[in-house]
A and B are shown apart, each in its own frame.
Chain A
């Protein structure tokens, strides 16, 4: 049923055209774009962005237009004002790749992350709607979102702000709920429903490049769905859905042909050797670090061809852009119009003809030697430095106590950075907030990174909602300020809980996944002031640490019966022993009635005695007879 509905959506505008022509906004309602950005170390960032919108009154009247009906109905049913859903895998290597795409606002922690603003009168109603929403989305996206229960749901206070434009009247009744499933493995079954929400469904346009084999083989990938109301100044409010896929491809890995996917050693004649090494010879080779020279074509790395334009897209938006210096050679197929923006030195976009021919894009090998040698600067744009580096790890050993340490570095030489660090931890990680410590090391100044000292200035504000066993997890939000060029080491202790044996997953000794910490970098005072002057709210940027794997002590799963029996025996022995002593009467050993066992022993002894007597008697008789015989024979 759902299938037939969604497939109708592209046709809907045509059916509705007499009605909607007058009310529809002038701008086209669907945009899609692929942004390619070569990164150092043979990586390539591909950002797909699909955006469509429908005006709010039409949405209320169930005229969904390009807005996916299946999702729209869920949102209406669950009273969702704003929705953000993320499916992520891998780790963004900020040291090499620099700042994150979209300032990190379109990425999630490893696994599935969902947060939404729900329209509800009370917390209980919000919880009810949240349950509805997670269960419906779970079915729609083939993800275990229904496992986001009360222990995984938090209500962040400082970390998230609505991105859409909400009227003040609805703001009062909006409840923010946030849930993470760090253990969820994002895979092809999540991509298929994601593509189905698109008007062109992966059959044409840039979405035709998306393929599960390549997407989930990437070094890092994040699929995002954001639904929010947008009210442009002087125009009608629209409900906007933005679907984004960001992936960092390892080019060498992606170029591996599909029929021969197993990595094998490179044949000797194809090895690139460093000839400057003294031991370089015919049979010895030191492989060169030739990772930087990139050479690829679009269909090589995605494993598919791009099938022309999506006919529903806004014809003025170029579907493919590449961010590389203009000195980088880029070849495309015929009839493709190259647009170079005057303001942006490093951006080139390609407008495709409206026919449905395949689009080709090739970046040839640029030799680093020869008569016109190229450098890295010709090949890719130097990645921007992020505002903050963050990493988080577990400390300590053993399955009893542990600690978490987050290392947060402000790389900027002159401006401080303010952010909110949010952790939502499972209840079985019992954290001790009194052990929370922030120590700082300055990279510049008198002590230049030599010493760590406790600093009370770093932590500005803490919001803490402690866990309750089996009911809710810990929610910890810390607003921090790091001075320029400094590193903060934040740490706290926790205790590992032993669970009931039925609460462990089947592979208990693998450990439990702990969700990534969400860091929301607040706009600096100058940017906030500049934005306020234009009448906007300055945007925040995000970043997430990696998840953690927590090892808990495990009971022996094989012996519940044995334990029940042993413990019961122990108790019975103690109780029985004491009961005997309390209840029975004392008598002397030779007094009182005989116990059957003693009686039996005595009888046995008597019988033995009797038997002995008889045997002796017989023996006595026998010996007498023998004597008689002897006497006779004599």
Chain B
């Protein structure tokens, strides 16, 4: 009875949180009618592959029977087009778009709530943290996501990356609840929308394996991995086929995924790629594109093997890496990473540089827009100003990622050496 009572309380509390978050977003949308379009134009929020303005242009061309992929503006997934053409025109009735984006945010928060409540962060099948009592409830984790200024700005700026965020969080949540098929379906949606989530497949398979593990009738991991790959491949194939049926040609492949591989659009963003390839010598461009992609994908096997016992930690760290090193990162990716970090509340005392990272991230957050303004509008600074800030931002985030990795590993180590708790250590 008491348990029921507390869960009821938790449910009403979460419902209250969701209502507050939705009301806050709705207030921002309606009280400042210029804000959505202002944020849509910000390079930190909208990238060439997620921008809402480009989506509108693609939609306009699609509705006028011009292939949006035969042009250089629209680089997003084809299935977004019929979805958005169902909605009334955003320029005349924007409220429907607002409601859609708010709903997507709430869905993501709900998935995050489930992830946090599953306690996978501290207790997995193969590993139980000595600090497992120290954890935040789903309510707090969802609140940290919903009230994060990055998430709110992303929601108001309406990039299509929120759909990817939602799909990834749902893939994780479903894998945690043992629903492998739905999880893989969700992951393939994410991969279909923005390609890079495909790199999350290995930790996701392990997560699903661990959560469905039955000690009485153990299945082989290889078998499950094969099945998951088949499911993802099959559903991606289906999605591609339906996109082909929708647009009538395979042009969308090169326009949607090719641009992420070749980086033809060099619009500034918070990442490291754009200025590097602006200044790159033509003869080395393809080489460095290969190196950058290799670098990005090298983290998946390394982290998956090293952190075999904690697949959710692998997923979180990988999302952090993607938020820094993917071709067109935005603060939407950062907010996704930051939303999963609170699931590891138990290792927070082991973080070594929490003050440095938080100040560097704050520094980047405030100086980034200022320096961009100096370069683009005021003309009193040049491209290096903004570039320097993206460097600082990336360094700050990568410090956070490696610090988190350190904390998680040390936590793991202290299971073997409980006497080392609170003592100074070093790595050899």
Chain A positions within 8 Å of B, measured between CB atoms, are 397-401, 427, 430, 432-434, 464, 466-470, 495, 497-502, 553-556, 559-560, 563-564, 566-567, 570-571, 573-575, 577-582, 584-589, 592-593, 595
A469 vs B375: C-alpha distance when bound (angstroms): 24
A589 vs B428: C-alpha distance when bound (angstroms): 10
CB distance from A481 to the nearest CB of B (A): 20
Smallest CB-CB separation from B282: which chain A residue?
A502
Closest 5 CB pairs of A and B: A466-B71, A574-B398, A434-B60, A584-B427, A560-B279
Residue B118 at the A interface, CB < 8 A? Answer: no
Check B424–A588 contact: CB distance below 8 A. Answer: yes
Q: Output the residue of A432, A466, A470, A589 with the most chain B CB within 10 A.
A: A466
Contact with A along B278-317 (1 / 0, CB 8 A): 1111100000000000010001001100100000000000
CB distance from A567 to the nearest CB of B (A): 5
Main secondary structure of the interface of B (DSSP, over half): helix
A580 vs B399: C-alpha distance when bound (angstroms): 13
How many interface residues does chain B have, given as a range? 35 or more
Residue B127 at the A interface, CB < 8 A? Answer: no
Check B376–A398 contact: CB distance below 8 A. Answer: yes
Given contacts A430-B72, A566-B391, A581-B406, whether A398 and B377 have CB atoms under 8 Å apart is yes
Check B428–A432 contact: CB distance below 8 A. Answer: no
A630 vs B410: C-alpha distance when bound (angstroms): 66
Check B278–A397 contact: CB distance below 8 A. Answer: no
Check B428–A498 contact: CB distance below 8 A. Answer: no
Check B56–A577 contact: CB distance below 8 A. Answer: no
Kindly identify which residue among A401, A434, A581 contacts B427, using a CB–CB cutoff of 8 Å. Answer: A581
Given contacts A500-B278, A570-B391, whether A401 and B402 have CB atoms under 8 Å apart is no
Kindly identify which residue among A430, A555, A559, A574 contacts B73, using a CB–CB cutoff of 8 Å. Answer: A430
A151 vs B426: C-alpha distance when bound (angstroms): 59
Check B423–A589 contact: CB distance below 8 A. Answer: yes
CB distance from B41 to the nearest CB of A (A): 6
CB distance from B184 to the nearest CB of A (A): 27
Check B279–A559 contact: CB distance below 8 A. Answer: yes
Residue B39 at the A interface, CB < 8 A? Answer: no
Cβ–Cβ < 8 Å partners of B375 in chain A = 399, 553
CB distance from A412 to the nearest CB of B (A): 32
Check A581–B402 contact: CB distance below 8 A. Answer: yes
Check B53–A586 contact: CB distance below 8 A. Answer: no
CB distance from A255 to the nearest CB of B (A): 42
Smallest CB-CB separation from B266: which chain A residue?
A498
Smallest CB-CB separation from A470: which chain B residue?
B264
Residue B171 at the A interface, CB < 8 A? Answer: no
Check A500–B277 contact: CB distance below 8 A. Answer: yes
Kindly identify which residue among A398, A470, A567 contacts B275, using a CB–CB cutoff of 8 Å. Answer: A567
Check B376–A400 contact: CB distance below 8 A. Answer: yes
Check B264–A469 contact: CB distance below 8 A. Answer: yes
Residue B325 at the A interface, CB < 8 A? Answer: yes
Kindly identify which residue among B41, B277, B428 contacts A585, using a CB–CB cutoff of 8 Å. Answer: B428
Cβ–Cβ < 8 Å partners of A592 in chain B = 426, 428
CB distance from B55 to the nearest CB of A (A): 10
Residue B394 at the A interface, CB < 8 A? Answer: yes
Chain B positions within 8 Å of A, measured between CB atoms, are 41, 43, 53, 56-57, 59-61, 66, 70-73, 91, 264-268, 272, 274-282, 295, 299, 302-303, 306, 324-325, 375-377, 382-384, 387, 391, 394-395, 398-399, 401-402, 405-406, 409-410, 413, 417, 420, 423-428
15 residue pairs bridging A and B, Cβ less than 8 Å apart: A430-B73, A498-B274, A499-B278, A554-B382, A554-B383, A555-B383, A559-B384, A560-B279, A564-B279, A564-B280, A570-B398, A571-B325, A581-B406, A588-B425, A595-B428
Cβ–Cβ < 8 Å partners of B413 in chain A = 586
A500 vs B285: C-alpha distance when bound (angstroms): 11
A579 vs B303: C-alpha distance when bound (angstroms): 10
A566 vs B279: C-alpha distance when bound (angstroms): 12
Check A560–B405 contact: CB distance below 8 A. Answer: no
Check A553–B61 contact: CB distance below 8 A. Answer: no
CB distance from B242 to the nearest CB of A (A): 24
Cβ–Cβ < 8 Å partners of A468 in chain B = 70-72
A544 vs B280: C-alpha distance when bound (angstroms): 39
Check B376–A399 contact: CB distance below 8 A. Answer: yes
Kindly identify which residue among B53, B276, B398 contacts A564, using a CB–CB cutoff of 8 Å. Answer: B276
A579 vs B405: C-alpha distance when bound (angstroms): 10
Check B41–A575 contact: CB distance below 8 A. Answer: no
Check B272–A571 contact: CB distance below 8 A. Answer: yes
Check B402–A432 contact: CB distance below 8 A. Answer: no
Given contacts A553-B376, A553-B383, A574-B324, whether A589 and B275 have CB atoms under 8 Å apart is no
CB distance from B279 to the nearest CB of A (A): 4
Given contacts A433-B57, A469-B265, whether A500 and B282 have CB atoms under 8 Å apart is yes
Given contacts A433-B61, A581-B427, A595-B428, whether A498 and B402 have CB atoms under 8 Å apart is no
CB distance from B172 to the nearest CB of A (A): 21
Check B405–A578 contact: CB distance below 8 A. Answer: yes
Kindly identify which residue among A575, A586, A595 contacts B425, using a CB–CB cutoff of 8 Å. Answer: A586
A316 vs B331: C-alpha distance when bound (angstroms): 78
Cβ–Cβ < 8 Å partners of A578 in chain B = 299, 398, 401-402, 405
Kindly identify which residue among B57, B376, B395, B425 contacts A432, using a CB–CB cutoff of 8 Å. Answer: B57
Check A467–B409 contact: CB distance below 8 A. Answer: no
Given contacts A399-B376, A555-B279, whether A587 and B427 have CB atoms under 8 Å apart is yes
Check B265–A497 contact: CB distance below 8 A. Answer: yes
Cβ–Cβ < 8 Å partners of B274 in chain A = 498
Cβ–Cβ < 8 Å partners of B268 in chain A = 498, 553
Cβ–Cβ < 8 Å partners of A575 in chain B = 295
Check A555–B278 contact: CB distance below 8 A. Answer: yes
Check B405–A588 contact: CB distance below 8 A. Answer: no
Check B376–A570 contact: CB distance below 8 A. Answer: no
Cβ–Cβ < 8 Å partners of B73 in chain A = 430, 432, 466
Check B272–A570 contact: CB distance below 8 A. Answer: yes
A466 vs B75: C-alpha distance when bound (angstroms): 13
**Extra pairs beyond A432-B73, A586-B409, A587-B425 (19, CB < 8 Å):** A400-B377, A467-B71, A468-B70, A468-B72, A499-B278, A501-B278, A502-B281, A554-B382, A560-B279, A571-B272, A571-B295, A574-B325, A574-B395, A574-B401, A577-B398, A579-B302, A581-B406, A585-B427, A592-B426
Kindly identify which residue among A495, A498, A555, A567 contacts B272, using a CB–CB cutoff of 8 Å. Answer: A567
Cβ–Cβ < 8 Å partners of A497 in chain B = 265-267
CB distance from A564 to the nearest CB of B (A): 7
Kindly identify which residue among A432, A556, A571, A580 contacts B383, using a CB–CB cutoff of 8 Å. Answer: A556
Cβ–Cβ < 8 Å partners of B377 in chain A = 397-400
CB distance from B287 to the nearest CB of A (A): 12
Cβ–Cβ < 8 Å partners of A432 in chain B = 53, 56-57, 73
A495 vs B424: C-alpha distance when bound (angstroms): 54
Cβ–Cβ < 8 Å partners of B276 in chain A = 563-564, 567
Cβ–Cβ < 8 Å partners of B387 in chain A = 563, 566
Check B275–A434 contact: CB distance below 8 A. Answer: no
A75 vs B276: C-alpha distance when bound (angstroms): 46
Check B278–A466 contact: CB distance below 8 A. Answer: no
A143 vs B377: C-alpha distance when bound (angstroms): 36
A259 vs B266: C-alpha distance when bound (angstroms): 53
Cβ–Cβ < 8 Å partners of B265 in chain A = 469, 497
CB distance from B81 to the nearest CB of A (A): 13
Kindly identify which residue among B43, B53, B405 contacts A581, using a CB–CB cutoff of 8 Å. Answer: B405
CB distance from A63 to the nearest CB of B (A): 47
Kindly identify which residue among A466, A554, A573, A574 contacts B66, using a CB–CB cutoff of 8 Å. Answer: A466
A400 vs B386: C-alpha distance when bound (angstroms): 14
CB distance from B27 to the nearest CB of A (A): 27
Kindly identify which residue among B53, B71, B279, B410 contacts A501, using a CB–CB cutoff of 8 Å. Answer: B279
Cβ–Cβ < 8 Å partners of B417 in chain A = 586, 588
CB distance from B69 to the nearest CB of A (A): 10
Check B394–A434 contact: CB distance below 8 A. Answer: no
CB distance from A598 to the nearest CB of B (A): 9
CB distance from B37 to the nearest CB of A (A): 11
A500 vs B284: C-alpha distance when bound (angstroms): 13
Check B57–A589 contact: CB distance below 8 A. Answer: no
Given contacts A399-B376, A466-B61, A559-B384, whether A589 and B426 have CB atoms under 8 Å apart is yes
